[in-house]
Structure 1
Amino acid sequence: MPTLNWIGKEAVEKHHKDVPYRLLEPVVELSCGEEQSGNLIVQGDNLHALKALLPRYAGKVKCIYIDPPYNTGNEKWAYNDNVNSPEIRKWLGETVGKEGETLDRHDRWLCMMYPRLILLKQFLTDDGVIFISIDDNELHNLRLLMNEIFEERNFIANIIWKKKTNGNNVGHIPAVHDYIVTYAKNESSLKLFEVQQSDEYIKSSYSNPDNDSRGPWTTSDLSANHKGPYFEITNPVTGEKFFPPKGRYWVFNEDEVNKRIQEGRIIFGKSGTARPVQRVFLFERETTQKVDTWFDKQGYNADGMKTLSDILGGKVFDHPKPPNLIKFLLNFATDKNSIVMDSFAGSGATAHAVLQKNEEDGGNRKFILIELDENNAKNITSKRVRKVIHGYDFKGKLKKTLSSHKLNFQALKKANTILEDFEKLKAQYSQEFNKIKSEVNDGCLQLVGEVEVEQKMPPLPGDFLYCTLSVDPLFEANGHIRSNVSFSELAEFVWFCETGTGYTGKADSPLLGIYEGRAIYLLYNGILKDLTEQGGNILTKQVFDVLPKFEGVKVIYAAANRLGGNAKRENIVFKQTPYALEV
């Protein structure tokens, strides 16, 4: 497989291993509601934050959405990872400019992304998926980078998202789209859900003009271009005979056709004198479908800006994504209990989308957001999520679809009737809406009413814990565990080191849990209610006798082992802290 090379690659390939583990430090005054809700907003460098979160969330995140710097030269981002490499150190703190201004700008971007993607992959469940927003500046590099880290076989799609209505005549071919590069953790395990067709689409596609007791229906071709039955069908009323069109065949045999004519499932047009067609009822049809790779109805950047402005007042963030876009990804990529992560949180749109989706379907999805900039995290990311949870004053336009008709040949034939109905509806709703206009949306001609409103948006149920990263890492420079590290904090780390998965236990016993047939124990910080060295953190016979029993292999982390040969007889695998704790 082709691989990508760039300045600094060798230095960053294992840089994620050199990043120290830090602890999350809650900031109660910036949190909202129940601190143990499972929702997190973490302020700090996302490389360090991801490393801090791994012991708890490795292998537990179903969906990751990130919107990293596009490297356009206008974003004022700087490379600041502490990599021990002369060629990289000269980049520190230096803002990356446009093409031609910073000649190694693509190298810097790749050095920044590589270790973060390595860590993000470790968070995903086996059936998890990652979505990455990007544009043409780094799309080609990102695809090669993802092929290397996630493997090419796990590529799912390169989704095209229409981000604005026009390109302002900029460039040879003005761009109006971004991309959402999509990879699975393991394509063979991935399950994406189909999405519900819109009510407008269903209403415009199905009707019940004859008040059939079986409900709304539509027509479908009775012939197909594959070889099948070929015979004449006779209209039982007019006696007119019909054969399939040239090169086509009926989809049913003669007996089935006659049966369906009797049941009213094959009709001769709505007039009763046209060619025979199938009558298909809504209750018989699936109303869900797979998503495709063209998103042109999930909101624009301008919608993201308008939403954020409504919540926080004025322009406070450049190019925020519309929550509807991210919510649409959640529709087919998550279930009701999924964990969703965004390590480039920015305006907090991902959390907003999670809360909206939970409100819609009664879900209990959790979000984990990471934002580098302290001001953004305090005054934009968390403030937005807090206001959405409490409800906020809204002034703007609300839209309501008054009528919708699918644009097809049948609609064209009755165009005058549709337009007359539109005029009647305009008169009927003239007092209710400030403006009523015709629009084409999702293949439908719609009459839409707009009204200026000033109201309080209803609250979306939710809570979150706001955290920063500890200044000091988990381990001191000499490798020893920091003295103020709690048992539960070290337990998460030990479990992750031993299993590679996130820890979900209560950390209230030296027995952390059972994993793949072995029991994992930790002796540390007086978990046995005895702070003396001999009785607390060292494996002695006295300590072993009071440990929770397990018949199989026992992996015991402790400062020292005083059992000697008895350890092997008791089926103990001893691992000395802190020296055995390497990831």
Structure 2
Amino acid sequence: MDKLDPKTDGSSMDIVKDNIEQLKAIFPDVCCEDKVDFTALKQLLGDNVETREERYIFNWHGKSNARRIAQTQSTGTLRPCKEESKNWDSTQNLFIEGDNLNTYLEYTGQKDAEGRKFSSNSDSTGRYHTNWLNMMYPRLKLARNLLKDDGVIFISIDDNEQANLKKLCDEMFGEENFVGNIIWKNVTDNNPTNIATEHESIVVFAKNKDSLENTWKSKVSKIKDILVELGNQLTSDIKDKSELQVTYSKWFRENKNQLSSLDRYKYIDNDGVYTGSQSVHNPGKEGYRYDILHPSTNLPCKQPLMGYRFPEETIQKLLQEGKILFGEDHNKIIELKVYAKDYVEKLSSVIELDGRLGAYDLKHLFPEVRKLFTNPKPVSLLSKYISFSSGNDALILDFFSGSSTSAHSVMDLNAQDNGSRKYIMVQLPETCDEKTDAFKAGYNTIADIGKERIRRAGEKILSANQDKDGIESLDIGFKVFKLDSSNIKAWDIDEDNIQQSLLDAIDNIKPEREPEDVLYEVLLKYGLDLTLPIEERCIAGKTLYSIGFGALVVCLDDNITLEVIEGIGQLKEELDPEVMKVVFLDNGFADPVVKTNALQILKRYTIDDVKSI
């Protein structure tokens, strides 16, 4: 029976090995016994090999070490923390407390004397630029590895490191995968400076830009929802067309300043609120030419400068459907009737949104705390990014989750469009300064703030949408996991006391660890989702964990008998997974004979992947 080795199976994905496999797939003749023949590779690449000493390169002190750290496999684990979680048995969301680059942060001086980490840089000296780059490099490397081909990353940054971030991302993702730079105008700066700084930058890169949709559009808009709901209400209550328009026009004039990009939707009919769109114009080149007669003057309407975008038969169909708007006479170009319910928004490179809204979002959730968190992002800002750049079943990962605005935004979006987005929040347990309002309110770490925010935001969103169809399926829970060392003892012989070392090795699970700690480490080592359903079974008095409907079965009890082994085989027949993997404690069998026979019995049930820890 093979063992799960904490030094091999117990580590994360080997990025170097994975890269070699990809290189082997492209250039099979340059790889020999998992080694790369760079001489042969250079010959294949010909003139495309860079050999000049003076060339464009982005470099800094410590880059080589940062690259090495980024390729280092993690040997830690994530321990479940049910008492701090919400809806543990049903949620698909994760909150991970810790950072497997923590040791590296300490080594490079990126944590202050109290252990706090910096994720932004307000110092302009070269040393801090270097520290910041060394901190970001391994995280961006990891982020790129985690992204799907159509995945994107949004990175908020101020002017101190914006230039360095762009160069770093160009190197990490490739210049060709630069999606754009969004300017978020978030403040009004009245300080006496040469140029008032009133914005932050959001740098956007893709894993593979060619895999993205050509145009990002979003159907999610709270203002749109208001207009649609108002239209439904008015058309239900008012049947006279003139009275309907007069009533809506009065409301429109009173609320126009709050309608943002929908401030042109000033008309209403029996089908709802609408506006006129110039999308009948042909953009850029000569289009279709034909006459459309005005219904009142019976004269041809003025044509767009470059003609019509659609052929005549399409316009005739739209006329029959009542979707063409005419001006007072034929001197006005026709417009296409577009209803608010069909509104889609494009993502602009400039967003004006008051930065104080993030603090207001928190204040609504924590009215008892004067200032809970410094400069939280507004929920509406992150909701905008997420709705434009991903589908409604996307997985959102935030490496610097802070007050968990991202999680709040995901739940809010799911409530709006009945989406099934999931999130993973990652946050160091940074201590809150004892002088802060957060600490005085009982929040010892930033992670504590984030977890409580998710709890409160979820309940608030449920309450606000209680009458909405399907709201009961909204996932407002999260599983908390905390980074720790492996639950499995590494083999470490004490040459002065070999006998004691051998005795310690008999029980190789650390004494303070619980069975569920070990269970989730096994899931990690097999690369399984931590949110997979886990069913607890009892067979012959022993506890078995069935993960993913029998894809993996784990038994961590002692004194395993052949009756238990037969029970596992019968469990496979019952659940009928395509493949079942089984894991035992290495010293968990009643005797060596049972351990030997277990393999043969399980093979009889076509269970071939059996390991011990």
TM (norm. structure 2) is: 0.59
- C-alpha separation in 2, matches of 1:386 and 1:34: 13
For 1:449-464, list aligned pairs within 5 A: 462-464=476-478
Distance 2:311 2:342 in 1: 24
Q: CA deviation at 1:381?
A: 1.4
Match of 2:65 in 1: 11
From the two aligned structures, give the one with the greater strand fraction. 1
Question: Residue 386 of structure 1: which of 455, 464, 468 is its match?
Answer: 455
1:467 aligns with 2:481: yes
Change (3 A) 1:233 1:381: closer
Listed as ranges, the matches of 1:77-476 within 5 Å are: 81=105, 83=107, 88=108, 93=113, 98-99=122-123, 102-164=125-187, 166-191=188-213, 194-196=217-219, 198-199=223-224, 200=259, 204-206=263-265, 216=274, 218=276, 220=278, 226-227=285-286, 248-249=306-307, 269-270=327-328, 272=329, 274-282=330-338, 287-296=343-352, 299-312=353-366, 313-372=369-428, 373-374=430-431, 375-377=444-446, 379-391=448-460, 462-471=476-485, 476=490
**Are the aligned partners of 1:228 and 1:250 in contact in 2 as well (CA < 8 Å)?**
yes
1:424 aligns with: none
Contact 1:46 1:344 in 2 (8 A): no
> Compared with structure 1, are the counterparts of its residues 522 and 238 closer, same or farther at alpha carbon in structure 2 (3 Å cutoff)?
closer
CA contact (8 A) 2:82 2:88 kept: no
Contact 1:215–1:281, Cα closer than 8 Å, also in 2: no
Superposed CA RMSD: 4.6
Asked if the contact 1:133/1:180 (under 8 Å) is kept, the reply is yes
CA distance in 2, matches of 1:184, 1:5: 23
Distance 1:215 1:512, change over 3 A: closer
Aligned partner of 1:27 in structure 2 is: 81
1:30 and 1:378 in contact (8 A); partners too: no
Gap change, CA 1:260 and 1:316, over 3 Å in 2: closer
After superposition, the Cα gap between the structure-2 partners of 1:237 and 1:81, relative to the gap in structure 1 and judged at 3 Å, is closer
Kept in 2: contact 1:348–1:369 (CA 8 A): yes
Between the aligned partners of 2:122 and 2:580, the Cα distance in structure 1 is: 52
C-alpha distance in structure 2 between counterparts of 1:256 and 1:511, whole Å: 54
Deviation at residue 357 of structure 1 after TM alignment: 1.7
1:302 CA drift (Å)? 0.7
Q: 1:511 to 1:541 in 2, by over 3 A?
A: farther
Residues 301/80 of structure 1: CA separation in 2 closer, same or farther (3 Å cut): farther
Q: How much does 1:13 deviate?
A: 0.8
Task: Tell me if the contact between 2:217 and 2:347 (Cα under 8 Å) persists in the aligned partners.
Answer: yes
Which residue is equivalent to 1:489?
A: 520
Equivalent residue for 1:42, pick from 76, 92, 96: 96
- The answer to whether the 8 Å contact 2:99/2:427 transfers is yes
Q: Structure 1 residue 36: deviation in Å?
A: 4.9
Q: Distance in 2 between matches of 1:122 and 1:494?
A: 17
Q: Deviations over 1:450-475 (max 9, x none)?
A: xxxxxxxx9x8612233322255656
Secondary structure class of the residue paired with 1:107: helix
8 Å CA contact retained: 2:75, 2:486? no
Instruction: Give, in angstroms, the shift of residue 309 of structure 1.
Output: 2.7
Pairwise CA distance, 1:535 = 4.4
Q: Quick one: distance in 1 between partners of 2:597 and 2:77?
A: 33
> Secondary structure in 2 aligned to 1:350?
helix
SS state of the match for residue 101, structure 2?
Answer: helix
Give the superposition deviation at 1:387.
2.3
Distance (whole Å) between structure 1 residues aligned to residue 310 and residue 390 of structure 2 = 39
Q: Deviations over 1:467-525 (max 9, x none)?
A: 322255656274999524766335334423xx9x9895856389649xxxx96855541
Contact 1:327 1:354 in 2 (8 A): yes
Offset, 1:109? 0.6
Q: Distance in 2 between matches of 1:366 and 1:264?
A: 41
Structure 1 position 106, deviation (Å) = 0.8
Offset, 1:134: 0.9
Q: How far is 1:321 from its partner?
A: 0.7
Residues of 1 paired with 2:96 and 2:279: CA distance? 56
**Contact 1:346/1:376 (8 A) holds in 2:** no
Q: Deviations over 1:34-69 (max 9, x none)?
A: 355232323223636xxxxxxxxxxxxxxxxxxxxx
Q: Tell me whether 1:530 sits opposite 2:589 in the alignment.
A: yes
Provide the C-alpha distance between the structure 1 equivalents of 2:181 and 2:405, rounded to a whole number of angstroms. 21
In structure 2, the partner of 1:408 is none
Aligned to 1:69: none
Unaligned stretches of 5+ residues in structure 2: 1-49, 51-55, 225-258, 432-443, 465-471, 494-504, 535-544, 554-577
Q: Look up the match of 2:562.
A: none
1:228-267 deviation digits (Å, cap 9, x = unpaired)? 566787768657677758x754667889989988997777
Distance 1:180 1:169, change over 3 A: same
C-alpha distance in 2 between matches for 1:285 and 1:470: 49
1:364-386 Cα distance to aligned partner (Å, 9 max, x none): 33322222115224542122222
Q: 1:330–1:277: structure 2 CA closer, same or farther, 3 Å change rule?
A: same
How far apart are residue 110 of structure 1 and its match?
A: 1.0
Quick check: 1:512–1:520 contact (8 Å CA) kept in 2? Answer: yes
* Total equivalences in the alignment: 441
User: Is this contact kept in 2: 1:267–1:276, CA < 8 A?
Assistant: no
**SS of the counterpart of 1:385?**
helix
Percent identical among aligned pairs is: 25
1:567 corresponds in structure 2 to none
Partners of 2:310 and 2:594 in 1: how far apart?
Answer: 82
- Unmatched runs of 5 consecutive residues or more in structure 1: 49-78, 399-457, 560-576, 578-583
Residue pair 1:155, 1:183 contacting (<8 A) in 2 also: yes
Larger proportion of helix: 2
Q: Scaled by the length of structure 1, what TM-score is found?
A: 0.62
